[in-house]
Amino acid sequence: MDNDVEDLFDQGLKKFNIDAYDEAIKIFKKVLEMNPDHPDALYYRALAWAIKGDYNRPSLISQKQWKKIRSIRTV
């Protein structure tokens, strides 16, 4: 199952990297349905929302999820 999650995440990252943010967000949502605490999916979904100018969406991330993101991403 972990390989399925990572394969799906990789698909989302590919979409993100070609600026297909709506498609990437949909894929990251599927990843998060499979693994709600997947830190990279949380990070890239929030980043895609921000790039699109949807600044209210990242606020849907829980405190627990935000801590996971912060633990792997340094500013």
- 14-30 tens-digit pLDDT: 999 999 999 999 999 99
- Looking at residue 31, its pLDDT comes to 96
Question: Is 30:8 a contact under the CB 8 Å cutoff?
Answer: yes
Cβ pair 50, 20 in contact under 8 A: no
Q: Which helix (H) or strand (E) holds 33?
A: helix 21-34
Q: Is the pLDDT of residue 55 over 80?
A: no
Considering the domain delimited by 2-72, tell me its CATH architecture. Alpha Horseshoe (1.25)
| pLDDT tens digits, 33-44 | 999 889 899 889
pTM metric for this prediction: 0.75
Q: Is the pLDDT of residue 62 over 60?
A: no
